[in-house]
Amino acid sequence: MAASTKSTSKAKHGTAAAAKRGVAKPSQTAPSKEPKTDSLAAPKEPVVKKKDLMARVAARANLRPSEVRTVYDAVLQELGDALLRGEKLRLPPLGLVKVNRHKELPDADIIVCKIRRNKATGSGKDELAPTDE
């Protein structure tokens, strides 16, 4: 029996010495280098980039991407300028876009908007689809 207490005693002293040297016990895990995520954090939203949106518009309107690019840039510039001025945008089928808050920073403008959209009516009509005439 004395041998078993002796080995247990050595094991205790061994881990204490390892702790003094900064060596973690096998049962302890090293701190994770990954950023901690809050369990209440929202899942990552999908992001539509300019190239993707232009491709979608070109496909829907049966136009070449080069034709869409000029109009796309002009429309987004005008939308941004109108929102910066605090104007309401009534843009069917998108809806009514209204500025809630606006904050000017030295390097950017923060514009918080509310969009009110009507529920889909189920007509299924695509406004950009070619008509059969």
Residue-wise pLDDT tens digits, 42-87: 678 889 999 999 999 999 999 998 889 989 999 999 999 999 999 9
> Is the pLDDT higher at 88 or at 12?
88
Report, as an integer, the average pLDDT of 6-29.
53
| pLDDT confidence band for 3 (50 / 70 / 90) | low
Report, as an integer, the average pLDDT of 1-29.
52
Stated pTM of the model = 0.53
pLDDT of residue 65: 87
| Sheet strands side by side (includes 95-104) | 89-91, 95-104, 109-116
| pLDDT confidence band for 115 (50 / 70 / 90) | very high
In the chain, the DSSP E strands lie at 89-91, 95-104, 109-116
> Is the pLDDT higher at 59 or at 9?
59
pLDDT of residue 62: 93
What token pair was written down for 55?
């491709």
How many other C-beta atoms lie within 10 A of the C-beta of residue 56? 12
For residues 24 and 40, give the distance between their C-alpha atoms in angstroms, rounded to a whole number: 31
pLDDT of residue 49: 93
Please compute, for residue 7, the number of CA atoms within 13 A of its CA located in the half-sphere on the CB side: 3
pLDDT of residue 27 exceeding 70: no
